Structure 1
Amino acid sequence: MPRNKEFDHNEKLIVARDLFWKKGYNATTLNDLVDGMKINRSSLYLTYGNKHDLFLKSLNNYIQKKDKQYRKAAEKGEGPLEAIKNIIHSVLESALEDTNCLFTNSVFELGTTDREVGAILARQTLNAVALFEELLAKAKEAGELQSDKPAKALAHFLVSGLVSIYNTHILFGDEQLTRQNAEILISTIS
């Protein structure tokens, strides 16, 4: 009779996600995962699959977390333009607090070499673009945004700018520069 798994599946997934987040995919070893998650190898394989499967689950978990963060920040806005600014400020605060981003790391580490990871990253980028595009269109309709730039192109630019906030802070660790980067991004729609 098989033994019941005596651990919280989601709790252990978060531990794995955070390990990948801190070290990256390639630098995180199976021993790191087994030790960090405090489960044996067979439980890891039976529950999550191999290291790559676990990474995909971890990346999806991280993306869900960030998507909730963006939507929660957007909901706090009085109007669509303020919603966009709130999302940018939310990303800024995350970058300063976490000093790292699993999504950004994955773009540069695996985005072009791992088709499954690249597809997940592209899908999430398009989801973020769609959110910004919708908010930008509403801002134009409401007269909050006076721009002749196509909403889709501007939305792509803003999403790329979110990555640049993390990139700046990861590389330079300069809070003032990171804040300036976010404010310049906001100024493109103000």
Structure 2
Amino acid sequence: MPRQKNFDYDTKLIEARDLFWEKGYNATSLNDLVDTLKINRSSLYLTYGDKHELFLKCLNSYLQLKEKEYKDATNSSEDPIEAIRNVINAVLDVILHDTKTCMFVNSTFELARIDKDVKRMLSKQTLIAVKLVEDLLKKAQENGQLSANTNPKTMAFYMITNVVSIWQTQILFSNETLTRQMADILLNTIVK
């Protein structure tokens, strides 16, 4: 008869996610996971798979959370330009006030070049965010708020990928004024 688990799957997944988020994939050892989750190795393997499988589950959990935040921000206003501003400002708020760097950003630089599964997940999430912003830009174009010469898809890629530059600036220089100025420049790219 199989042993009953004495822990909640989702709670432990969040604890593992937070550990990977804080330390990164490579710096997180199996011992770190066992100690943090307070479950034995066999339970960890039986429930979540190996370290890589667990990381992918944690990254997926994080990406779902971020996707919801992006959707909430894009739905926060009927005005498409205002909705885009809300998205950028929501990210800016996290950049300036969260003590941890975005797990998406960390995973991009740590793993996306060498781990096809991580790259696939991050690419998919980027395309989702791009599509949300692209749809808003198309609406803005339709109602005359955005130049007809602007390619909404290219502009959406530009905006989403440049959010990483804003993270990088804050990480390297811890200069709130400069970070806010970069966000303003990004927002000003959509003005007609």
Unaligned runs of at least 5 residues, structure 1: none
Equivalents in 2 of 1:77, 1:44: separation in Å? 43
TM-score (ref. length: structure 2): 0.95
Which residues in structure 2 correspond to 1:105-184 (within 5 Å)? 105-146=106-147, 148-184=149-185
Corresponding residue for 2:30? Answer: 30
Q: Deviations over 1:113-152 (max 9, x none)?
A: 0011111111111111111111100110011222522111
Corresponding residue for 1:74? Answer: 74
Greater displacement, 111-120 / 75-84: 75-84
Corresponding residue for 1:4? Answer: 4
Deviation at 1:13, TM superposition (A): 0.8
Cα pair 1:81 1:136 within 8 Å, conserved: yes
Equivalents in 1 of 2:168, 2:151: separation in Å? 26
User: What SS does structure 1 have at the residue aligned with 2:190?
Assistant: coil
Unaligned runs of at least 5 residues, structure 2: none
Corresponding residue for 1:42? Answer: 42
TM-score (ref. length: structure 1): 0.96
Q: Which amino acid aligns with 2:78?
A: E
Among all aligned residue pairs of Structure 1 and Structure 2, give the percentage whose two residues are the same amino acid. Answer: 56
Q: Which amino acid aligns with 2:29?
A: T
Cα pair 1:104 1:167 within 8 Å, conserved: no
C-alpha change, 1:132 and 1:26, in structure 2 (3 Å) is: same
Equivalents in 2 of 1:172, 1:41: separation in Å? 40
Segments of 4+ in structure 1 off by > 6 A? none
Equivalents in 1 of 2:97, 2:11: separation in Å? 21
Q: Deviations over 1:75-102 (max 9, x none)?
A: 2123111111100001111112224011
Q: Which amino acid aligns with 2:96?
A: L
User: What SS does structure 1 have at the residue aligned with 2:165?
Assistant: helix
Equivalents in 1 of 2:148, 2:171: separation in Å? 31
